[in-house]
């Protein structure tokens, strides 16, 4: 076998080897892209996440009470603001509702960052926020994006004073979107399911 013939065989072998490996790379990439579609939470997992949902909602309520209270030190209120934001899915919004003098309800949506910052600077000398028991957590359903979604309903009582005078008071039913997402855990170098709070809607507001 001459040198020219040998080089030709080597080149053909190299080409075939590369071509054979290419579909494997494509298949691996495709499998990784669909990993969220292939992973489902078991019923026992869902029950655990329901309990975690309750804990996160209660934690958020505690932060709201601290942020709204003018009696708390500024450092503590700022810390509560930062910790509250960690509970939420990126881009989450909060609806606020105010009963107008004519009885109509004015609803506005703000990003969670703007809502919490505004809560700290409300024009009252005293703000009292109370939450009633968690009313309801709906069943989790898997969305087309691979995440699981649910909602939690809570009742919030808001009271604002100027000096000793009661200026405003209402009770609002709020619906909190719950999101379970598969996120990268950089410490363990693996993906794990985590519960986040999402958008919060003011579904009903009444005078007290």
- List the chain domain ranges: 42-207
- Residues 101-119 have pLDDT tens digits of 999 999 999 999 999 999 9
pLDDT of residue 61: 95
Residue 128 has pLDDT above 50, yes or no: yes
Computed over every residue of the chain, the mean pLDDT equals 84
Residue 28 has pLDDT above 90, yes or no: no
- Residues 11-26 have pLDDT tens digits of 444 444 444 444 444 4
**Contact, 169 vs 60, CB < 8 A?**
no
Count of residues for the chain? 208
- Residue 132 DSSP label: -
Residues 157, 208: Cα–Cα separation, whole Å = 9
Task: Tally Cβ neighbours within 10 Å of residue 27.
Answer: 10
Looking at residues 147-163, what average pLDDT do you find? 95
pLDDT of residue 25: 41
Instruction: Indicate the pLDDT class of residue 7, thresholds 50, 70 and 90.
Output: very low
Q: What one-character-per-residue DSSP string does 41-91 give? A: --HHHHHHHHHHHHHHHHHHHHHHHHHH-TTS-HHHHHHHHHHHHTTB-TT
pLDDT of residue 40: 84
Percentage of residues in the chain having pLDDT higher than 70: 80
Q: Which residues touch 15 (CB under 8 Å, ≥6 apart)?
A: none
* Sign for the pseudo-dihedral over CA of 130, 62, 150, 133: negative
Q: What are phi and psi of 192, to 5 degrees?
A: -135, 150
**Contact, 126 vs 165, CB < 8 A?**
no
The CATH code that applies to domain 42-207 is 3.10.450
Nearest to 146 by CA among 190, 191, 177, 182: 182
Q: At what angle do helices 43-68 and 112-120 cross, to 10 degrees?
A: 30
β-partners of residue 119 are none
Nearest to 95 by CA among 107, 84, 86: 107
Single pTM value for the model: 0.78
The DSSP H or E segment spanning 114 is helix 112-120
pLDDT of residue 31: 38
Residue 29 has pLDDT above 70, yes or no: no
């Amino acid at each position: 076998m001459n040198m020219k013939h040998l080089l030709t065989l080597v080149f053909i072998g190299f080409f075939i080897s590369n071509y054979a490996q290419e579909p494997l790379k494509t298949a691996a990439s495709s499998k990784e892209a669909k990993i969220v579609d292939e992973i489902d939470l078991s019923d026992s997992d869902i029950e655990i996440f329901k309990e975690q949902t309750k804990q996160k909602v209660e934690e958020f309520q505690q932060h709201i009470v601290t942020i709204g209270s003018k009696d708390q030190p500024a450092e503590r209120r700022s810390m509560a603001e930062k910790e509250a934001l960690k509970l939420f899915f990126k881009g989450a919004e909060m609806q606020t509702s105010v009963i107008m003098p004519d009885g109509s309800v004015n609803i506005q949506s703000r990003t969670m960052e703007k809502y919490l910052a505004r809560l700290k600077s409300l024009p009252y000398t005293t703000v009292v926020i109370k939450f009633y028991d968690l009313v309801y957590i709906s069943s989790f359903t898997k969305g087309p994006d691979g995440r699981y979604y649910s909602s939690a309903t809570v009742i919030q009582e808001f009271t604002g004073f100027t000096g000793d005078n009661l200026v405003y008071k209402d009770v609002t039913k709020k619906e909190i979107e719950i999101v379970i997402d598969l996120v990268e855990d950089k410490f363990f170098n693996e993906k794990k399911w985590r519960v986040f709070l999402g958008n919060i809607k003011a579904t009903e507001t009444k005078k007290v």
